[in-house]
Amino acid sequence: MSRKNRPYDFYDTTSSVCTTCLRQVEAKILIKDGQVFMDKWCPAHGTERVLMADDADYYRLAREVYVKRPEMPEHFSTAMQYGCPYDCGLCPDHMQHSCLTVLEITDHCNLRCPVCYADSGPERLTHKPLAVVEQMLDAIVKNEGEPDVVQLSGGEPTLHPDFFAILDAARARPIKHLMINTNGIRLAQEPDFAARLAEYGRGIEIYLQFDSLRGEVHQALRGADLTRIRREALEACNRHKLSTTLVVTLKRGLNDGEIGDIIQFGLTQPCVRGVTLQPIQDAGRNTDFESARHRLTVSEIRRRIAEQSGVFTLDDVVPVPCNPDTLAMAYALKLGDTVTPLTRHLGPDVLLAGDANTIVFERDPALKAQLFKLFSTNHSPDSQASCLSDLLCCLPKIDAPALSYENVFRVLIVQFMDAQNLDIRALKKSCIHMVQPDGRMIPFESHNLFYRDERQQTLQQIRAEIDAATLARRQVFRVHPVS
Ligand code: SF4
Ligand code: SF4
């Protein structure tokens, strides 16, 4: 009798949820023909196979090399009662503090985009009262001490009637970096608005929706041609020296061929500190989304950056150690018109030795020191001498300590998992959390799956089932204790 082999390597087990019923299911991670798949099985809805990465080597690099000890928040808000992902949070089983906390201050918006995880629009009119927002800011500070990054979001946060009072409240707390997640309409249309934002000085960043340089892509993702709005918003940010990140929602076949153009465009804009690429997540309103056609994995986007940007190679786009499954980054030094990729010189040893887990590495003093050391002309690690000499001969003489945030350009890939590709092992490392009015911090992914609006009804039903099963288990155990 000849034994048969399976046509794949069995790499690991994890758990996920069934895409149909959202109940927790077992999952296997398989590697086949250089690609990584997750196989799930639900007793009620059968099997599913999901592509997790199209580059098994990169996936293994993220899983096996870029592993860092979890950094804890200062406070957990919920207990472990129903199991992950039904206990958010953060519950004590979570494995990463909040690198970035999202604070949704309104559900109102002046657009109604076909793609919006918050399902926002003009018809939604609820603004969180200022006092509630202040409580939420306090909760973030209680959890984090000195939060790395807080992002005001919505809806469209700039439409909140107390928007500037909220900025004042945020600035009055020890928050290192404050982002405003905006579609840019107020920046483009109200000259005074950008001027007033600029009065807050450094430490404020505009997180500008910027999906494309083409009108038809805006139509598809935002329901309107926003080309002029984007240009005018950026002009305002440049005029008032407002640090800006361009945020691109990526949909395969729509704008994934434009990644390089957007990075190149960003490099020409003095106010732009980087580009964040977010593959589309099936959450909230997601018109015409077909998973097989439109989904992009981190490894695919990494390759497109290398193919299209003309700046970064594959070696420059590395996993972010705090959550390497879903985050990748490439850093470059920008000096005038010269752009020099940095990340290839910051190997895992340097990145894993950083004092703190955070996705804004230029805010990490230890890493910043490493970076400056790397670029001080007469001091470099021997192992990097040859590539550094190549590098330094291309650069003007550098006075490293004079480098600042303005000289750093970063490209981030930020993947948010949805029901289909949820790997609960990776979810436990999620470092982008949504603060709630009651003080809970809920990972972005589980928030969109279980904790947003009417989705909480499904969560309550699942919790009731778990309660019933736990009760039954206890009763059986009482009658037939294990000897
Ligand atoms: S995702 Fe994190 S906070 Fe939520 S239940 Fe799982 S471990 Fe707890
Ligand atoms: S994606 Fe942003 S701009 Fe579009 S409807 Fe949602 S909140 Fe508004």
pLDDT tens per residue across span 164-217 = 999 999 999 999 889 999 999 999 999 999 999 999 987 799 999 999 999 999
> Sign of the CA dihedral 138, 143, 149, 152?
negative
Rounded mean pLDDT of the chain? 89
Atom of ligand 1 nearest to the CA of 86: 5
- Identify the pLDDT of residue 2: 75
Confidence of residue 354 (pLDDT cuts 50, 70, 90): low
Can you give the three-state secondary structure of 388-426, one letter per residue?
HHHHHHCCCCCCHHHCCHHHEEEEEEECCCCCCCCCHHH
Atom of ligand 1 nearest to the CA of 83: 5
The model's pTM is 0.91
Does the pLDDT value for residue 246 go beyond 70?
A: yes
The residue behind tokens 């290192």 is 176
- State the ligand closest to the CA atom of 247: 2
Does the pLDDT value for residue 481 go beyond 50?
A: yes
Highest mean pLDDT among 343-347, 401-405, 451-455: 451-455
**Cα-to-centroid distance, 107 and ligand 2 (Å):** 9
**Cα-to-centroid distance, 151 and ligand 1 (Å):** 21
- Identify the pLDDT of residue 379: 36
**Cα-to-centroid distance, 297 and ligand 2 (Å):** 23
Does the pLDDT value for residue 386 go beyond 60?
A: no
Q: Which residues line ligand 2 (CB under 6 A)?
A: 109, 111-113, 116, 118, 120-121, 154-156, 183
Does the pLDDT value for residue 225 go beyond 80?
A: yes
Return d(Cα 343, Cα 68) in angstroms, integer. Answer: 17
pLDDT tens per residue across span 309-330 = 999 999 999 998 889 999 998 9
Q: Which residues line ligand 1 (CB under 6 A)?
A: 84-85, 87-91, 93-94, 427-428, 443, 446
**Cα-to-centroid distance, 339 and ligand 1 (Å):** 40
